[in-house]
Amino acid sequence: MDKIGVLTSGGDAPGMNAAVRAVTRKAIYEGLEIIGIKRGYTGVIESDFMVMDRGSVADIIHRGGTMLHSARCEEFRTEAGRKKAIEQLKYGGIEGLIVIGGDGSFKGAQLLSEESDIKVVGVPATIDNDIACTDYSIGYDTAMNTILDAINKIRDTATSHERTFVVETMGRHSGILTLMSGLAGGAESILVPEIDFSLEEVCEKLNHGYERGKLHSIILVAEGIEQDFTSSTDNNESQAFAIAEEISNRTGFETRVTVLGHLQRGGIPTAQDRILGSRLGAAAVDLLLEGETNKMVGVVHEEVKSFPIEESLTRSKDLNKEIYKLADILSL
């Protein structure tokens, strides 16, 4: 193998740049030519390639986002689109490809590997931390600390005005990011898709806290929860507003909503995400040199390991219910 490519795809995550830097410099160290592909699979189809050298990735390890930019590509979902992508990779002499992204990016990597002789390795990067076969994905730690910082600031104003705040976090259909952030931030209630909740019990907890002198509360809500409420609030994008209105109606407490949104995807990556990106990026190059394909790299009990991409897509990453129970106990 003489030439490999690297791309970032899907939602950006802090630490992606650290992974791109590691892939680039490890490839050069091993005597490979490295091609950066801009805008994910869209850049593959459009042959948006750039030759990378050590200087290309200088001064990026501490930067959020991705220097290669990212995009979602509907054309790549089609067989014709993937055929065009394979043609462009072959025309560019790219024999191996490293895909940095989440499960959608991994599905694309799996198809590319199955439909061509190009060797493909995935590197997990998503703030949701919902990819199986790895304890952590790149970006998760930074996003968790961003949420924690927001909770700390919101708690200051909640205390000053004696209010209840409903804070919505990202995570798609996974509540892992929300749970861990809520535990670290001391949230009074944590609502996640994996565990049924009773708004009546949430309100009872708020009332009990008020009776013992508590003047403010933080309710952390994962964006993926699905539950019907009687609220008249018309908001198709977030249930946080409906939950806040229900809480206000049932308790009489003044309630406010904060939707953190894309704030969670940006920012300077933490040391953990920089280290994780560096380790996994370098390991991905090693897998390609070993002739592996349709694999992903992950970290399990602090050890870098590889797994079939199919396993990461078919296995579920379960929320730790013991930690959920602990968070509930500590919030009483």
| Residue ranges of domains in the chain | 3-139+269-314, 143-265
184 annotated binding-site participant: no
Provide Rg for the chain, Cα atoms: 22
pLDDT bucket at 226, cuts 50 / 70 / 90: confident
Mean per-residue pLDDT for 197-224?
A: 92
228 annotated binding-site participant: no
Q: Which of 160, 132, 173, 125 is nearest to 20 (CA)?
A: 125
pLDDT bucket at 114, cuts 50 / 70 / 90: very high
Contact 285, 27 (CB under 8 A): yes
> How distant is the alpha carbon of residue 139 from its chain centre?
6
End-to-end, the C-alpha distance of the chain in Å comes to 58
At 280 the pLDDT is 98
Tokens of 246: 């229900």
pLDDT in tens, 302-318: 999 999 999 999 999 99
Contact 137, 122 (CB under 8 A): no
Q: Would you say how long the chain is, in residues?
A: 332
Q: Looking at the predicted structure, is the pLDDT value of residue 235 above 90?
A: no
214 annotated binding-site participant: yes
301 annotated binding-site participant: no
At 229 the pLDDT is 62
Q: Is 234 a catalytic residue?
A: no
At 215 the pLDDT is 81
Domains 3-139+269-314 and 143-265 share a fold: yes
Fold of 3-139+269-314: Rossmann fold (3.40.50)
Q: Looking at the predicted structure, is the pLDDT value of residue 236 above 60?
A: no
**CATH 3.50.50.60 fits domain 143-265:** no
315 annotated binding-site participant: no
* Whole-number Cα distances in Å, 320 to 179, 196, 226: 9, 14, 20
At 239 the pLDDT is 86
223 annotated binding-site participant: yes
pLDDT in tens, 250-265: 999 999 999 999 999 9
DSSP 82-124: HHHHHHHHHHTT--EEEEEE-HHHHHHHHHHHHTSS-EEEEEE
Amino acid letter at 265?
A: R
pLDDT in tens, 268-299: 999 999 999 999 999 999 999 999 999 999 99
pLDDT bucket at 237, cuts 50 / 70 / 90: low
Per DSSP, the three-state class of 244 is helix
The C-alpha atoms of residue 60 and residue 227 are separated, in whole angstroms, by: 42
Q: Looking at the predicted structure, is the pLDDT value of residue 200 above 60?
A: yes
At 332 the pLDDT is 82
Q: Could you say which of 128, 130, 141, 273 is catalytic? A: 128
* Whole-number Cα distances in Å, 88 to 36, 39, 41: 14, 15, 11
